[in-house]
Amino acid sequence: MSLKKSKNAVGRAVHDYAMIRENDRVLLAVSGGVDSMVLLTLLSILKTRAPVRFSIFPVYIDPGFENSFAGELEGYVKETFGDIRIESTDFGVYAHSEANTENPCFLCSRLRRKRLFEIAKEEGCSRIALGHHKDDIIETLFMNILYSGRIGTMKPSQPFFDDTFRIIRPLCYLEKNEIRRFHTDRELPEFSHSCPSEPSSKRKRVRRLLNELYEESSHIKGNIFSAMGNVSDQYLLEHTL
């Protein structure tokens, strides 16, 4: 996907959902993966051209697995974009230990999210940008339906704590294959760790199911994404006593 189309998709998302205001400091959660590296690149480009002035503060929460790439990631970001904050934790290790009785992915994610809010407060950031894209938002809808018995997903712009902070997802209009293509074309680096849950996560199972549906028609993905903003309440079940 071309730089222009990718940049326009991010700019449109930021505009449509009023993600960033004048003089906002945006904490950008960097994981080292394809999505977050593309988000860092595109948001840095948008920052120089946007009608509002804002700054970006990259943060990496190291989950504590062996063979950490924190040093390599820090070197790349500092050389290419500027400062980055590295947080060393044991969140991933603890989430996969016998001490945890919850879903390891859920606990690890919750601990990292909590720390991001804490850092945002420490650093004066009003926005927390995450690298979730269109496919992630659709997959989350189906994960909630299948595994939690509720209808809901990740919003492109979601307020927390009386709108003291807002989680934003500027890649919400981009599909995973478009992001991967941009990442390859721009020859961006990719950093990955050996998470024990990665090969068999519930998200991957849902992704395989959806990919089978997408093969039937090129309209299905777009229809699902549109449906999340076109809900007919009168045709949903009502709570009963």
pLDDT in tens, 101-144: 778 888 888 999 999 999 999 999 999 999 999 999 999 999 99
Contact yes or no for 1/181 (Cβ under 8 A):
yes
DSSP string covering 115-165, please?
HHHHHHHHHT-SEEE----HHHHHHHHHHIIIIIS------SEEEETTTTE
Q: With 90 as the cut, is the pLDDT of residue 22 above it?
A: yes
* CA 125 – CA 138 distance, rounded (Å): 28
DSSP string covering 96-126, please?
TSTT--S-HHHHHHHHHHHHHHHHHHHHT-S
- Domains along the chain? 3-230 (3.40.50.620)
Residue 25, φ and ψ in degrees, nearest 5: -105, 120
pTM, whole model, 2 decimals?
A: 0.93
Condensed to tens digits (0 to 9), the pLDDT of residues 79-99 reads 999 999 999 999 988 888 888
Q: With 70 as the cut, is the pLDDT of residue 55 above it?
A: yes
Q: What is the pLDDT of residue 59?
A: 98
* CA 111 – CA 61 distance, rounded (Å): 10
DSSP string covering 46-79, please?
HHTT-SS-EEEEEEEEE---SS--HHHHHHHHHH
Q: What is the pLDDT of residue 225?
A: 96
Q: What is the pLDDT of residue 105?
A: 82
Condensed to tens digits (0 to 9), the pLDDT of residues 133-172 reads 999 999 999 999 999 999 999 999 999 999 999 999 999 9
Q: How confident is the model at residue 74 (pLDDT cuts 50, 70, 90)?
A: very high
Condensed to tens digits (0 to 9), the pLDDT of residues 168-200 reads 999 999 999 999 999 999 999 999 877 777 655
Widest pairwise Cα distance in the chain: 60
Q: What is the pLDDT of residue 191?
A: 92
* CA 168 – CA 190 distance, rounded (Å): 22
